[in-house]
């Protein structure tokens, strides 16, 4: 019963049988044993101190010490019986608890939803312009480059993203777990220390990866033009890895605009502007030209993110002395590194294998179909971006019911928005693809299959995040390992026979396997769900 009290509540409640008052906000000051004692008292109404000590399996003296703060704050009262025994009573608090619990639950859920929608709203307001700009950029790039060079550019950019994620060592995901917790605990030194350590490790690892990959790419026998494109992709790796680390540090402080503006608006705008300038001066563009433009846009956007972190961070973070817990951070980050890599492989292995098996021309058409299908994931992406900083403190407080309520709320809104967007794109899909060029309409059937995949993703909630937040990220490694094996097997089977349609089918089947596996794993490991039909009931 008492676990229904929110730790941040500050509502003064009048006791049932006296003039005393107590503040439910004091409840969070008690340790777990003391809370267990109060819960037992609320169930019994009153209890002799010896009986309560036996229930807690401690001595009577220790029981009194446990409840000292509760007695001081009127959560518990004591009286002396005629026989001289001491009886502890929580009867006066029961009515207040019952009266306040439903009100607090409703206030907490609605407050969380309001915070969530506020962050999502900022994301979407930024994203609408960003998506329009990104779509316009992709249209011009596809027209200027043609399917072949556009496909090769997309593949090279994907390789750069994969290597940058490997260089980040999984810190972007583990930071999303630890940083909201450190802010909730006011452990600003560890917040600052984690950011500094993650930055150093990401830069060092990504530079080492580039040094290893450089001779491998140079002497594989690829044409010199393609080798140069891959060199630019390697130069992109340290910059992207740095941006991957700075982003979670901004999001955890709810600096939404500072998080969204550089990557979602500035980077595509610079990419388009750079491509336009080169197109005006050089005429026909190549994948190498576009990688240079991408490198410039990334450098400027990451630099702005870094500046925002240095100037907009909390004053307490800036003034804190950096503290480090390297072993703990690495232990949490390395499994998430595997999760991140497998996630990107599952999302982009189809594009890479289309290029290898079917050729760069088909890869260009498939890349446009993928990009168009991903337009409908706006709300889901917004939710996934905003929700970690909100539910991170809830995990710290063990407010599991509120987490379930918020996860289910995200799934239902995301599915509704995705369904509406998918319907529109399905109807006007050929026209949308035709804007990129008449050759790209060949990807319409693949686009329809990929829209189904987006609907499945929208309905799944955030089961992977539940595992990460509870420190069970290693469970995700097994699931993603299975997904990668399934996807590669299906791609090898379907891609040669059905082309890009086979790639879309293989990817969608893989998504079904991944969603079912991750959701079942999260429920078994954490007892929590976050899918379409999840409805949290207060706090467990």
DSSP string, 194-218: HHHHHHHHHHHHHHHHHHHHHHHHH
Contact 505, 368 (CB under 8 A): no
486 C-beta neighbours (distance < 10 Å), count? 18
Contact 95, 389 (CB under 8 A): no
C-alpha separations of 446 from 145, 372, 451, 460, 503 in Å: 22, 11, 9, 22, 8
Question: Left, alpha or beta for 316 (phi > 0: left; psi -120 to 50: alpha)?
Answer: alpha
Measure the CA angle with vertex 195, ends 190 and 197; round to 5°.
90
Q: Is the dihedral of CA 243, 244, 248, 249 positive or negative?
A: negative
Residue 47 forms beta bridges with which residues? 88
Give me the tens of pLDDT residue by residue for the chain, a chain 540 residues long: 333 323 333 333 333 333 333 333 444 445 666 667 777 776 666 778 887 787 777 777 777 777 776 666 566 777 777 666 777 776 555 444 444 443 434 445 566 666 666 666 666 666 677 777 777 888 888 888 888 888 878 878 878 887 888 888 888 878 877 887 788 778 888 899 999 999 999 899 889 988 888 887 777 666 666 777 888 888 888 998 898 899 888 888 878 778 878 887 888 888 888 888 888 888 778 888 888 888 899 999 999 999 998 988 888 888 888 888 888 888 877 777 776 666 666 667 787 788 778 887 888 888 888 888 888 887 677 666 666 666 666 665 666 677 777 777 777 877 888 888 889 999 998 998 988 888 889 999 999 999 999 888 888 877 877 777 776 767 777 777 788 888 889 988 999 888 999 999 998 998 888 888 888 888 887 777 777 776 654 433
Residue 354 is classified by DSSP as I
Measure the CA angle with vertex 236, ends 370 and 339; round to 5°.
60
Can you state the percent helix, strand and coil of the chain, rounding each to 5? 80, 5, 15
Closest alpha carbon to 18 in 84, 83, 80, 95:
95
Find the DSSP H helices in 283-399: 287-312, 315-319, 326-353, 360-373, 378-397
Contact 287, 228 (CB under 8 A): no
Q: What is the pTM of this model?
A: 0.58
84 C-beta neighbours (distance < 10 Å), count? 6
Strands 77-80 and 21-23: unpaired
For residue 272, give every residue at least 6 positions away whose Cβ sits within 8 Å of its Cβ, in sequence order, or none. 133, 136, 137, 140
For residue 426, give every residue at least 6 positions away whose Cβ sits within 8 Å of its Cβ, in sequence order, or none. 448, 451
For residue 21, give every residue at least 6 positions away whose Cβ sits within 8 Å of its Cβ, in sequence order, or none. 12, 13, 14, 15, 74
Report d(CA 407, CA 398) in Å as an integer. 15
Contact 178, 325 (CB under 8 A): no
Report d(CA 410, CA 531) in Å as an integer. 9
Contact 468, 176 (CB under 8 A): yes
C-alpha separations of 64 from 24, 76, 93, 503 in Å: 20, 11, 18, 67
Cα 447 from chain centre: 25
Residue 273 burial by CB count (10 A; 0-12/13-18/19+): exposed, middle or buried? middle
Residue 471 burial by CB count (10 A; 0-12/13-18/19+): exposed, middle or buried? middle
Sheet-wide strand order for 77-80: 46-48, 86-89, 77-80
Strands 77-80 and 86-89: antiparallel
Residue 442 is classified by DSSP as G
Contact 536, 406 (CB under 8 A): yes
Q: Is the dihedral of CA 487, 412, 398, 53 positive or negative?
A: negative
Closest alpha carbon to 248 in 321, 340, 345:
340
Find the DSSP H helices in 73-90: none
For residue 341, give every residue at least 6 positions away whose Cβ sits within 8 Å of its Cβ, in sequence order, or none. 162, 165, 166
Return the beta strands (E) in 495-535 as ranges.
none
Report d(CA 131, CA 505) in Å as an integer. 26
Query: How many helices and strands in the chain, by DSSP H and E?
Result: 20, 5
Cα 508 from chain centre: 21
Closest alpha carbon to 130 in 318, 374, 369:
374
311 C-beta neighbours (distance < 10 Å), count? 9
Q: Is the dihedral of CA 413, 417, 420, 422 positive or negative?
A: negative
Instruction: List the domains of the chain with CATH numbers.
Output: 2-89 (1.10.10.10), 100-526 (no CATH)
- 3-class DSSP state of 12: strand
């Amino acid at each position: 019963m008492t676990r229904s009290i929110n730790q941040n509540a500050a509502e003064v409640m009048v006791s049932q049988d006296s003039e005393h008052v107590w503040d439910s906000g004091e409840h969070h000051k008690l340790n777990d044993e003391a809370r267990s004692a109060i819960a037992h008292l609320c169930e019994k109404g009153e209890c002799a101190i010896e009986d309560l000590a036996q229930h807690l399996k401690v001595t009577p003296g220790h029981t009194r010490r446990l409840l000292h703060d509760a007695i001081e704050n009127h959560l518990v009262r004591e009286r002396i019986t005629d026989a001289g025994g001491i009886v502890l009573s929580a009867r006066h608090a029961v009515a207040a608890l019952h009266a306040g619990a439903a009100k607090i639950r409703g206030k907490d859920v609605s407050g969380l939803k309001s915070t969530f929608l506020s962050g999502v709203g900022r994301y979407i307001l930024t994203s609408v312009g960003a998506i329009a700009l990104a779509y316009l950029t992709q249209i011009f790039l596809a027209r200027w480059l043609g399917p072949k060079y556009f496909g090769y550019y997309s593949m090279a950019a994907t390789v750069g993203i994969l290597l940058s994620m490997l260089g980040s060592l999984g810190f972007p995901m583990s930071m999303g777990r630890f940083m909201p917790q450190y802010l909730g605990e006011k452990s600003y030194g560890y917040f600052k220390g984690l950011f500094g350590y993650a930055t150093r490790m990401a830069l060092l690892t990504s530079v080492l990866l580039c040094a290893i990959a450089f001779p491998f790419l140079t002497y594989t026998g690829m044409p010199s033009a393609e080798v140069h494109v891959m060199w630019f992709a390697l130069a992109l790796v340290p910059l992207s890895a740095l941006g991957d680390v700075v982003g979670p540090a901004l999001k955890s402080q709810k600096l939404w605009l500072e998080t969204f503006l550089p990557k979602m608006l500035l980077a595509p705008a610079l990419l388009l502007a750079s491509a336009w300038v080169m197109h005006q001066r050089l005429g026909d563009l190549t994948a190498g030209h576009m990688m240079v433009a991408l490198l410039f846009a990334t450098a400027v956007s990451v630099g702005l993110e870094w500046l925002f972190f240095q100037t907009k961070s909390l004053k307490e973070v800036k003034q804190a002395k950096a503290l480090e817990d390297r072993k703990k951070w690495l232990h949490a980050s390395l499994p998430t590194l595997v999760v991140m890599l497998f996630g990107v492989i599952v999302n982009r292995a189809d594009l890479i294998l289309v290029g290898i098996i079917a050729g760069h021309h088909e890869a260009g058409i498939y890349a446009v179909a993928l990009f168009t299908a991903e337009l409908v994931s706006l709300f889901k992406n917004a939710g996934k971006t905003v929700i970690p900083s909100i539910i991170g403190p809830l995990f710290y407080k063990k407010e599991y019911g509120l987490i379930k309520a918020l996860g289910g709320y995200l799934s239902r809104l995301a599915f509704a928005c995705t369904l509406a967007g998918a319907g529109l794109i399905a109807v006007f899909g050929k026209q949308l693809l035709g804007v990129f060029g008449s050759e790209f309409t060949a990807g319409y059937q693949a686009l329809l299959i990929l829209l189904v995949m987006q609907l499945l993703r929208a309905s799944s909630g955030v089961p992977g995040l539940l595992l990460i937040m509870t420190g069970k990220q290693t469970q995700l490694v097994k699931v993603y390992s299975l997904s990668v094996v399934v996807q590669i097997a299906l791609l090898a089977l379907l891609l040669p026979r059905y082309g890009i349609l086979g790639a879309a089918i293989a990817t969608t089947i893989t998504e079904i396997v991944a969603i079912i596996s991750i959701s079942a794993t999260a429920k078994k490991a954490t007892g929590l769900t976050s899918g379409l039909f999840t409805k949290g009931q207060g706090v467990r």
